[in-house]
A and B are shown apart, each in its own frame.
Chain A
Amino acid sequence: AQSVTQPDIHITVSEGASLELRCNYSYGATPYLFWYVQSPGQGLQLLLKYFSGDTLVQGIKGFEAEFKRSQSSFNLRKPSVHWSDAAEYFCAVGSSTPGTYKYIFGTGTRLKVLA
């Protein structure tokens, strides 16, 4: 069965520190992979996506993610966190099977940034 696991429900980092949010997925083929961010009371905004090509993907707001097929992981990283990065982050898997448009989201990781 397809699934997405974000093992960390909450993460707290100091401003300026590096960040890594973990995402593991289970999918039969190579899926579409996404990271979204949701600020309090807001909708979701795409940070980055991956389907093929370079396994290190650059996104907006200084985020990057690395696809590791052998580990079924797509971890999100940022070298230096800003207070405005405090939000909830969702990893998502999209079906690459023609004829479907199924998406599965992880349960999210809430990031707190200490000044």
Chain B
Amino acid sequence: EAQVTQNPRYLITVTGKKLTVTCSQNMNHEYMSWYRQDPGLGLRQIYYSMNVEVTDKGDVPEGYKVSRKEKRNFPLILESPSPNQTSLYFCASSLRPSSGGQTYEQYFGPGTRLTVT
């Protein structure tokens, strides 16, 4: 089954304790992205990756790191989490737009609910 998986689905941690949220897709997609969802703010893009070893900042990258060493995986790293990073996090992937401009939908993972106390 084509899917984007995230682990863990729920995480409660304390301020300053490094954590990693994993994201994996089995669709051979070039593009991957991380978002956070907060009430009243919608989804905001944290980082994205257009291929292995190619990453760039979205709108809210502060406090986060990413890496893309393999095509299928795109982990999100919080090296020193703070309470303002309490949020619902989504990973997404898609094919690269075609040369004719045809774009493809993003497939979203189920989300990771993170609480930082």
Specify the chain B residue showing the minimal Cβ separation from A100.
B56
Chain B interface size, under 10 / 10 to 19 / 20 to 34 / 35 or more: 20 to 34
Q: Which of B42, B97, B101, B110 contacts A107 (CB under 8 A)?
A: B42
Specify the chain B residue showing the minimal Cβ separation from A47.
B105
Question: Which residues of A pack against B, CB within 8 Å?
Answer: 6, 9, 32, 34, 42-46, 49, 51-52, 90, 92, 94, 96, 99-108
Q: Which of A43, A94, A102 contacts B109 (CB under 8 A)?
A: A43
- In the assembled complex, how far is the CB of residue B45 from the closest CB belonging to chain A, in whole angstroms? 5
The verdict on A32 contacting B103 (CB below 8 Å), with A43-B108, A101-B48, A107-B41 known, is yes
Specify which chain A residues have a CB less than 8 angstroms from the CB of B42 in the assembled complex.
Answer: 6, 90, 105-108
- In the assembled complex, how far is the CB of residue A78 from the closest CB belonging to chain B, in whole angstroms? 19
CA distance A6 to B33 in the complex (A): 22
- In the assembled complex, how far is the CB of residue A87 from the closest CB belonging to chain B, in whole angstroms? 14
Sample of 18 further A-B pairs with CB below 8 A, known A43-B108, A45-B108 = A6-B42, A34-B105, A43-B90, A46-B105, A90-B43, A94-B103, A96-B97, A96-B103, A100-B56, A101-B31, A101-B49, A102-B48, A103-B33, A103-B58, A103-B106, A104-B45, A105-B43, A108-B42
Q: List 8 A-B contacts (CB under 8 A).
A: A32-B103, A46-B105, A90-B42, A94-B103, A96-B97, A103-B43, A103-B45, A103-B58
CA distance A96 to B97 in the complex (A): 9
Q: Which of A9, A51, A104 contacts B102 (CB under 8 A)?
A: A51
